[in-house]
Structure 1
Amino acid sequence: MFIKLAWQSLVHRRGGLALAVISVAVSLFTLLGVEQVRMQAKESFNRTVSSVDLIVGARTGQLNLLLYSVFRIGSPSNNISWQAYQEVAQHPQVAWTIPISLGDSHRGYRVVGTNQGFFTHYRYGREVSLAFSSGRLFAHSDEVVLGATVARQLGYRVGDSLVMAHGMGATSFHLHDDHPFTISGILSPTGTPVDRALYVSLEGMEAIHGRDDAETVAAHPSSITAFMLGLNSRVATFQVQRWVNEYHGEPLLAILPGVALSELWHLMGVLEKLLLLISALVVLASLLGLSILLLAAVRERRREIALLRAIGAGPMFLFLLVQAEALLVLLAGAVLAFAGLAAGLWIAAPLLAERYGIYLQGMDVGGQTLALMGAILAGTFVLATIPALRVCRQSLGRTLQSDG
């Protein structure tokens, strides 16, 4: 009965109500959208690699090494010699390694030279292994494995042929058309940058740069871009890291992926807080507008208030009635905001994955989102107190006049 009365009162002023609901919906959409993208982008980055103890590359910043070796963003400052890679790989504490060689592309997607260790040891998410949706691992230097996004976007199937290009441009004038590749397999989707790359053997990577087949099978590459490694015991992580960083053969850098990710989020923390602050101010402005709307309607509601007082409604009833009206506007705006955000995330997810490597998993209503909604609810109550008290004062004044 109480909520029904508040709703009927709002419907009676539906012109202003519609504007208030739209204003609240837009502000909540902005705030929740920023929060959703922030949380899911962070989760997307964190689940990219989960089993690697150290990443080793040429000496550079640890963020740069993390970005180009794991996320395929940016370029290395230098390469690592094959000899240095072999010496680190033969360290007693190293259980396995995954070499990575970058430098070529296919229609804007990175080509990664590696070995079978990548498909055996690489993990993402909660220790999930890579799997094939069709085909198999490359077995020859002229075979290539595609990530799920590459295959889907370019319409490739197992058995198709393709040509690599030098550099990272979507359009290249330097094609390695003298060494075409046949697609041997397509990986299952992972929701990580693995989906956005093509994978060839190290021998295949060497072949497209000028060696004939006989030399390619027998030879190893002269250098690689970076490599990932797993240890026999994680207790030895810092010991091996220090040993690599002090390697005398050439300047190397070993990083812990988790530490590098923490540094990345620390650097982005100021931007995150700024975006949330701007979104919160937009919500505050919207709620202030709602308060002003309710306050402006006080004079128009004199007859309604007098009628409610005549049937026995007290000041507390009128106070709660105004609060209920504000809550209903907030609820209607929240419903529109959540529906619009769910649709927006569904539409934007493929674009963000394709262009920026950020994989969204749909609407995620977690503890942070619920905390924000709780804060907005409390703010609505506080701001709606102003018109609610005005109604109570007007009601009391009319009662005193009638008594006199």
Structure 2
Amino acid sequence: MFNLCYKSLLNRRFIAALTVLSIALSVALIVGVERLRTEARAGFANSASGIDLIIAARGNDVQILMATVFGVGTTGAGISWDSYEMIEDLPQISWTVPIMMGDNHRGYPVIGTSEQYFDHFRHSGGQQLIFAEGVPFKSPDGAVIGAKVAQAFGYTSGTEIVNAHGSGEVAFDVHDEAPFTVTGVLGHTGTAVDRMVFVSLDGFDALHEEPAVAVADPFALVDAPEVAEEHEDHDHVELDEPDEHEEGHQEHDDRHAHGSGHEDEGQTVTTSDGHDHDGHDHEPGTINAIFAGLEEKTAVLSVQRQLADHRDEALTAVLPNVALLQLWSITSTAETALRLMAGAVAVAGMIGMVVMLSASLDNRRREFAILRSVGATPAGVFYLILLEAVLLLSAGIVLGVIALSALTLVIDPLLAANFGLRIGVGVPSFREVLLIAIVFCSGLLASIIPALRVYRMTLSDGLSVRL
């Protein structure tokens, strides 16, 4: 029966091939939409793990999440360094990491931060960042790059890179007068970190000094107060004078360092909790956001309330998981539309198969009569049509899965480079297998229509008296 079915389909190979292609397209689309949805959610959740709060200027939670964690967009206004010190001194706060944004390296976002970023940032359910080679930056002109950046351009430790002002592919001002030296390459994480470049707060700030000061050596500002005197009219440079209040605050190149004791000017101040506090934005004393960890998870609401009531500055404390839920609610409409489109394609494929099987029935009456003459029963001919449908569905499903895998290999680097998402080629998940089974069963049920028609046709032909 199988050999007979195969030869019958081979005799109608053009129409059969079109049917297989339509089924393959529907399978690839349905499974592809589901895989993209699940992997996108998993990738986003993995990127935001380990962060209890993201604190930024008052704004939209989703926008803040996308800008700080995924390097897409911007937070808008900045936060003063005084507010940063206030936040890190809250008793509920365990650790803080300042974040500065606004530059890019050949389309990849550049993040200004401190070395504590690599100690506290977690991904994929709590995994710590690991250096594939090198170490964190130790000087203002040092940089740490993600695995995707290193792979895209062949960078290694010791490579000099040049950043530009602007986000994405937009470069308003290329800072070729202030190159950075790669000190470390992060291991692959499968998150947005892979496509980021990290520099120190001092290095990020030095890029945005006035050209007349920065061209010769933009990083010399840290140890050259005499240069600042010559340019005291600029808002971006101030004299390196200690604060008159002995409260643990000092200014140095528009940068405040807070702690239990003072060190020499131009040096990082370490508080009793062991955290180093260094960095400032090119706008005096401002940063874009703060990653924060809590001593107790239950304190999140009290911290949110304190920051919302902060009178000196309008602040927002974003819970990453809540912001992700908001993001899913925004994208749910698009997900539903994609699913409906995939379902419509699947229905079209099933209809095409039924039409192909039904349209050929009248032309195959001679074939069925011959089968009956050699002993085939109406039930046998019925099963023959079902077997043809099974072969068409199986071929379409296999071709669809292969096509999806090939397409994934092509678009995966693009998704990783632009959105920090990676679908990957692997064994289909349970949900994907379930969707494939639904397509198969739906096609098999649809094939019953032409099979019943054949059964009645052969039964009628067998009972008719022909002269």
TM-score per shorter chain, which class? over 0.9
Pairing partner for 1:265 from 323, 328, 331: 328
* Post-superposition CA distance 1:336-373 (Å, at most 9, x none): 11111111101111112112332222245123212222
Does 2:149 match 1:86?
no
2:187 & 2:67 partners in 1: Cα distance?
A: 22
Cα deviation, residue 231, structure 1: 1.0
TM-score (norm 1): 0.94
- Give 1:294's aligned residue: 357
2:104–2:171 Cα contact (<8 Å) kept: no
Aligned partner letter, 1:157:
T
Distance in structure 1 (CA, Å) of the matches to 2:84 and 2:188: 30
- DSSP-derived class of the 1:156 partner: coil
Matched, 1:111 2:110: yes
Residue 213 of structure 1 aligns to which amino acid in structure 2? Answer: V
Structure 1, 65-74 or 363-372: larger mean CA deviation = 363-372
SS of equivalent to 1:133: strand
Matches within 5 A, 1:374-389: 374-389=437-452
Residues 303-342 of structure 1: pairs in structure 2 closer than 5 A: 303-342=366-405
Aligned to 1:253: 316
Q: Kindly provide the amino acid, as one letter, of the partner of residue 68 in structure 1.
A: A
Partner of 1:33: 32
Contact residue 36 and residue 363 of structure 1 kept, 8 A:
no
Equivalent residue number for residue 343 of structure 1? 406
1:235-254 alignment to 2 at 5 Å? 235-254=298-317
2 CA distance for matches of 1:58 and 1:10? 66
The residue that corresponds to 1:355 in the other structure is 418
Change (3 A) 1:206 1:391: same
Contact 2:166–2:172, Cα closer than 8 Å, also in 1: no
3-state SS, counterpart of residue 73 of structure 2: coil
**Contact 2:200/2:279 (8 A) holds in 1:** no
Correspondence for 2:240: none
User: For residues 222-241 of structure 1, what are the alpha-carbon distances to aligned partners after superposition, in whole Å with 9 as ceiling and x for unaligned?
Assistant: 11100111111112222222
CA RMSD of aligned residues (A): 2.0
The Cα of 1:402 is off from its aligned counterpart by: 4.4
SS of equivalent residue, structure 1 residue 329: helix
Partner of 2:163: 164
Map of 1:10 onto structure 2:
9
Question: Which whole-Å CA distance do the structure 2 matches of 1:307 and 1:191 have between them?
Answer: 61
2:455 alignment counterpart: 392
C-alpha distance in structure 2 between counterparts of 1:181 and 1:381, whole Å: 62
Rounded Cα–Cα distance in structure 1 between residues aligned with 2:161 and 2:198: 13
Please give the residue correspondences for 1:120-269 in structure 2 after superposition, counting only pairs within 5 Å: 120-168=119-167, 170=169, 172=171, 174-210=173-209, 212-214=221-223, 215=252, 217-218=266-267, 220-221=279-280, 222-269=285-332
Unmatched 5+ stretches in structure 2: 210-218, 224-251, 254-265, 268-277
1-side partners of 2:336 and 2:19: how far apart? Answer: 27
C-alpha distance in structure 1 between counterparts of 2:288 and 2:32, whole Å: 37
Q: 1:243-292: per-residue Cα shift (whole Å, max 9, x none)?
A: 22222221100111111111101111111111111121111112111101
Q: Which residue of the partner structure matches residue 365 of structure 1? A: 428
The answer to whether the 8 Å contact 1:319/1:389 transfers is yes
Shift of the 101–259 alpha-carbon distance from structure 1 to 2, 3 Å rule, reads same
Identity of aligned residues (%): 37
Q: Residue 227 of structure 2 corresponds to which residue in structure 1?
A: none
Write out per-residue CA displacement over residues 56-92 of structure 1, whole angstroms, 9 at most, x where no aligned residue: 1110010111110111111122101111111111111
Give the secondary-structure state (helix, strand or coil) at the position aligned to 1:47: helix
The separation in 2 between residues aligned to 1:6 and 1:124, in whole angstroms, is: 53
Instruction: Give the structure 2 partner of residue 278 of structure 1.
Output: 341
Aligned-residue offset at 1:112: 0.7
**How far 1:152 sits from its partner (Å)?**
1.8
Which residue identity lines up with residue 279 of structure 1 in the other structure?
A
Matched residues, number: 403
**Partner secondary structure for residue 464 of structure 2:** helix
Distance 1:377 1:402 in 2: 40
1:159 is paired with a residue whose SS is: coil
Aligned pair in 2 of structure 1 residues 153, 345: CA closer, same or farther (>3 Å)? Answer: same
Which segment is superposed worse, 309-318 or 393-402?
309-318
**Structure in which a larger fraction of residues adopt helix:** 1
Return the TM-score normalized by structure 2: 0.82
| 1:345–1:363 contact (8 Å) kept in structure 2 | no
1:11 Cα deviation after fit: 2.2
- Decide whether aligned partners of structure 1 residues 333 and 43 sit closer, same or farther in structure 2, where only a CA change above 3 A counts: same
- Alignment gaps of 5+ in structure 1: none
Please say if residues 27 and 439 of structure 2, whose CA atoms lie closer than 8 Å, have aligned partners that are also in contact: no
Amino acid at match of 1:164: N
Q: CA deviation at 1:169?
A: 5.7
Taking the aligned partners of 2:428 and 2:203, their CA distance within structure 1 comes to 45
2:45 is matched with 46
Counterpart CA distance in 1 for 2:118 and 2:397 is 45
Superposed counterparts of 1:36-75, under 5 Å = 36-75=35-74
